[in-house]
């Protein structure tokens, strides 16, 4: 086992700290990353230590292999998972927890190779068409980009001498290049569609993905949920006054609070967070107070979105009805519709809490990915319709042709500038001769 040390220290109550260590473990064909958390008691008597450490970005519950004896939590405010516990440590005792995670910061080699292979097969379909030249250039770029991604990834794979930050940064760079590869594959697929052929399953992405369409929900159409706050005076003898303040989830604005439950509502414009508060709340010994804040449900709102996506699929399927040669696109639509229906039939948690918010946020992200798939098919349909309407597809010029046009324009402008300059110089000399005469 090779261990790569990357230290981020966070102290808790001056008696415990967490150290994040990146650990690369090659297990067959999969790699793992270990988050090492260290907790210590520096004093000479036992005491409880609270541990809490945020998991790296992009990590979900499906990416966690072993919690190492810790509990899993979800940070509603930051949309991130964390591990935590409270442990009794003896005098000068140090305890270490290892949280094992999947290495999700890797671009799949199989996925890249399949896109290169796909581009090659599509190119064969275009051999006898006017699109072959542009498609050849795109296929070459796809192959070169895929090789560059895999080479950079291999160079920065988890190993001795490569830090986890370096590994993750490489992944972010490769993601941008992967998007360009997917768009190039999408362009070749569009060429095949424009030639009147069925390219098969569409694995490329749309050239100009618009933002997800916003579904307007009227305020009165939101459900209501209850956000609970509990405070307690732990002293058995003393009366205490405390200030209460709780941040609400980031989706909630001041006008979304329907009933603050005897608390006041504020808005932190710097942090863009709504909160409820009350100052100098008097609590008797061992007294506990519970507040129930009624707010609009800003998470379980995907019903209208699902209906909108289903409607768009139905519309595309209707437009494809007369174009029987594009059967694989209909199969793509059926698959998207099936996945949307699965989401529609899911049952989330009943009560508002971190699990409730995490569930519906995740659902919203999955619907956004499915919407991109629908947008890709809508783009393909526009290509088909343009071909059907005009009888041909007006192709944009290749990159080489574009630069050639630019150079010709620049040369023409330079020639006009020279002619103007010499005319101006000649005119100046003629004016001097006239003045001397």
pLDDT in tens, 158-188: 777 887 788 888 999 999 999 999 999 999 9
Q: How does residue 322 score in pLDDT terms, banded at 50, 70 and 90?
A: low
391 pLDDT above the threshold of 80: no
CA 9, CA 345: separation in Å to the nearest integer? 43
Helix (H, G, I), strand (E, B) or coil at 10: strand
What is the rounded average pLDDT of the residues 363-381?
A: 90
386 versus 21: the higher-pLDDT residue is 386
Q: What integer pLDDT is reported at residue 436 of this predicted model?
A: 55
Q: How does residue 57 score in pLDDT terms, banded at 50, 70 and 90?
A: confident
Q: How does residue 417 score in pLDDT terms, banded at 50, 70 and 90?
A: confident
- Other CB atoms within 10 A of residue 170 CB: 21
Least confident span in 310-314, 399-403, 407-411:
399-403
- Which ranges constitute the DSSP H helices of 321-398? 327-344, 354-390
Maximum separation of any 2 CA atoms in the chain, in Å: 116
Strand 257-259's sheet: what is its strand order? 224-232, 288-296, 257-259
- Which ranges constitute the DSSP H helices of 97-131? 109-125
Q: Which of 55, 108, 61 is nearest to 84 (CA)?
A: 55
Mean pLDDT of all residues belonging to the chain? 83
CA 58, CA 355: separation in Å to the nearest integer? 17
Q: How does residue 396 score in pLDDT terms, banded at 50, 70 and 90?
A: low
pLDDT in tens, 84-131: 999 888 888 889 999 999 989 999 999 999 999 999 999 999 998 889
Q: Which CATH architecture has domain 2-102?
A: Sandwich (2.60)
pLDDT in tens, 10-34: 334 333 444 444 444 444 345 788 8
266 pLDDT above the threshold of 70: yes
Q: What integer pLDDT is reported at residue 267 of this predicted model?
A: 92
- Other CB atoms within 10 A of residue 357 CB: 24
What is the rounded average pLDDT of the residues 228-235?
A: 89
With beta carbons less than 8 A apart as the criterion, state whether 117 and 200 touch: no
397 pLDDT above the threshold of 70: no
CA 254, CA 260: separation in Å to the nearest integer? 10
Virtual torsion, Cα 353, 354, 357, 359, nearest 10 deg: -110
Q: What integer pLDDT is reported at residue 276 of this predicted model?
A: 94
């Amino acid at each position: 086992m090779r261990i790569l040390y990357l230290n981020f220290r966070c102290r808790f109550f001056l008696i415990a700290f967490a150290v994040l260590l990146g650990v690369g473990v090659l297990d067959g064909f999969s790699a793992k990353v270990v988050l090492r958390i260290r907790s210590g008691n520096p004093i000479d008597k036992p005491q409880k230590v609270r541990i809490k450490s945020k998991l790296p970005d992009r990590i979900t519950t499906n990416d966690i292999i072993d919690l190492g004896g810790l509990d899993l939590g979800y940070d509603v405010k930051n949309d991130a998972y964390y591990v935590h516990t409270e442990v009794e440590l003896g005098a000068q005792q140090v305890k270490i927890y290892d949280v094992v995670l999947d290495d999700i910061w890797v671009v799949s080699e199989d996925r890249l190779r399949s896109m290169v292979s796909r581009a090659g097969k599509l190119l064969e379909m275009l051999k006898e068409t006017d699109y072959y030249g542009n498609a050849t250039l795109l296929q070459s770029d796809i192959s070169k980009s895929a090789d560059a991604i895999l080479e950079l990834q291999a160079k920065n794979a988890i190993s001795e001498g490569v830090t986890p930050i370096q590994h993750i940064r490489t992944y972010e760079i490769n993601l941008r290049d992967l998007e360009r590869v997917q768009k190039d594959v999408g362009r070749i697929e569009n060429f095949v569609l424009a030639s009147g052929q069925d390219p098969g399953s569409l694995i490329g992405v749309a050239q100009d993905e618009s933002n997800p369409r916003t579904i307007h929900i009227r305020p009165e159409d939101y459900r209501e949920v209850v956000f609970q706050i509990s405070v307690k005076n732990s002293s058995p003898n003393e009366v205490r006054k405390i200030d209460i303040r709780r941040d609400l989830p980031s989706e909630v604005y001041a006008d979304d609070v329907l009933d603050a439950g005897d608390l006041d509502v504020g808005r932190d414009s710097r942090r863009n967070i709504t909160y409820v508060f009350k100052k100098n709340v008097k609590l008797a010994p061992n007294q506990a107070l519970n507040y129930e804040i009624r707010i609009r449900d800003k998470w379980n709102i995907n019903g209208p979105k699902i209906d909108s996506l289903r409607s768009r699929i139905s519309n595309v399927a209707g437009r494809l009805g007369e174009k029987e040669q594009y059967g694989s696109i209909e199969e793509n639509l059926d698959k998207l519709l099936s996945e949307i229906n699965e989401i529609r039939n899911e049952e989330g948690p009943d009560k508002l809490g971190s699990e409730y918010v995490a569930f519906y946020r995740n659902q919203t992200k999955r619907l956004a990915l499915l919407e991109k798939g629908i947008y890709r098919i809508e783009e393909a349909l526009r290509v088909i319709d343009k071909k059907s309407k005009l009888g041909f597809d007006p192709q944009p010029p290749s990159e080489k042709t574009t630069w050639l046009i630019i150079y010709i324009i620049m040369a023409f402008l330079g020639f006009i500038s020279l002619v103007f300059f010499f005319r101006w110089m000649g005119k100046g000399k003629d004016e001097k001769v006239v003045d001397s005469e």
